[in-house]
Amino acid sequence: MATARTRLSSDQRRSQLLDLGVRLFSTRSLSEISIDLLAERAGISRGLLYHYFGGLAGFQEAVVRRAADDLIARTAPPESGDAVERLLISMEAYVEYVDTHYEGYLSLITGAKSGNETLRRIYDEGRSALTDRIFTSDTDHLLEDTPAARLLVRGWAALAEEMVLEWKRDETSGTDPGISREELLHLITAALPALSTTL
């Protein structure tokens, strides 16, 4: 007996295309994701992609925003528990995300630094969401919420990002990073409490 095809709503189809775009983004740079590639992988016409996203730039922006939202959701720490333990769990998820989405994540950072205002805005919004949660948790905090502490956390986040990217860059190029993932996580997680003692 033939199975009836399910007709997707416009929102469902758009979401499905974004999911595919995010999967492609995990292993490709943003510039490598084209309308032709997506149309081929999704089995739809180019015109349908223009209908949903208005063109390549609109699609790429939507994919990057979906990927940033996914990163924020995946790295959400537990709502309760020791502050350092929650930070470690969040950073474990962050390292895992960068490890499995390296090309796309690197593409987002490169695009944000290149002067692309849209990518810069999405990147900044994502960074703020990741760092603000250190101060907005309902449980104990590592730091008191002050302008100096927020500046310090933003600096720590930039340090953590660079450390993870450097570690992954070495691994990707076949160079021994010199430290394990567990050692990397320890360095990142221990750095914030250590820096907070300077406040």
- Specify which of 11-15, 53-57, 60-64, 84-88 reaches the highest per-range mean pLDDT: 84-88
pTM for this prediction: 0.83
Confidence (pLDDT) at 2: 40
Q: Mean of the pLDDT values across residues 29-48? A: 85
Confidence (pLDDT) at 112: 83
pLDDT tens across 106-136, in order? 888 888 888 888 889 999 999 999 999 988 7
Confidence (pLDDT) at 137: 66
Residue 69 has pLDDT above 80, yes or no: yes
Confidence (pLDDT) at 114: 81
Q: Tell me how many degrees the CA angle 40-45-47 measures, rounded to the nearest 5.
A: 130
Contacts of 148 (CB under 8 A, 6+ apart): 199
Confidence (pLDDT) at 138: 58
